[in-house]
Amino acid sequence: MARPRSESARNKLIAATAEILATHGVGALTAEEVARRSGVAKTTLYRHFGTADALVFATVQANVAALEPPDTGTLRGDLFEIHRTYLAVANARQSRELFVWMVARAIEDPANRELFRQVRVQPRGPTVLALQRAIARGELAPDLDMDLAMHVVQGPLISMRIVDDSDVSNGNLEHLIDMTVKALGAVES
């Protein structure tokens, strides 16, 4: 009979992975290094996550889930705060490289594609919560396609910050949010 998975071991693996990603980037991450830093056996890593790639996606997902979602009272205000947080994270070269790594892995492997989708569209993630609150306030239609809305919200900022490696000024961000809110069909409540 298999031993139950330890939540403590899982948390140690995620913490060690987050530390490696933040300090050295995704290129430095190996199962051996995660095991060494976490004090958890590689076999436990594979038992919990299956692959080192899955561990990276789980770590990013945990970091997004840990973000406190803003509640400014408007969709526009919430998206502005969410994007400002994202931009602060994306200033680090390691963060941009990690995003590119996740996209590449998602293209190569359908299992990673689903893991990447779970990172981007989290039921309790800040953006989904902002969209749900906007629906509840009547700012957005109740039949909003959440997956498509996530592409509308995330796509322009990813294109500007990750693909173009452009700095995004507050003025650019304001304009981007205005366009995004309009594209989502938001009405003032």
Show the domains of the chain with their CATH numbers. 1-66 (1.10.10.60), 69-189 (1.10.357.10)
Position 93 confidence tier, pLDDT thresholds 50, 70, 90: confident
Comparing C-alpha atoms, which of 17, 89, 24 is closest to residue 58? Answer: 17
Residue 150 has a pLDDT of 93
Which segments within 44-135 are labelled E, that is strand? none
To the nearest 10 degrees (0 to 180), the angle between helices 110-120 and 52-65 is 10
The alpha-carbon radius of gyration of the chain (Å, integer) is: 18
Position 65 confidence tier, pLDDT thresholds 50, 70, 90: confident
What are 4-14's pLDDT values in tens digits?
Answer: 568 999 999 99
- What's the pTM value of the predicted model, to 2 decimals? 0.85
* Residue 37 burial by Cβ neighbours in a 10 Å radius (0-12, 13-18, 19+): middle
Residue that the structure tokens 């809305």 belong to:
149
Q: Which helix (H) or strand (E) holds 92?
A: none
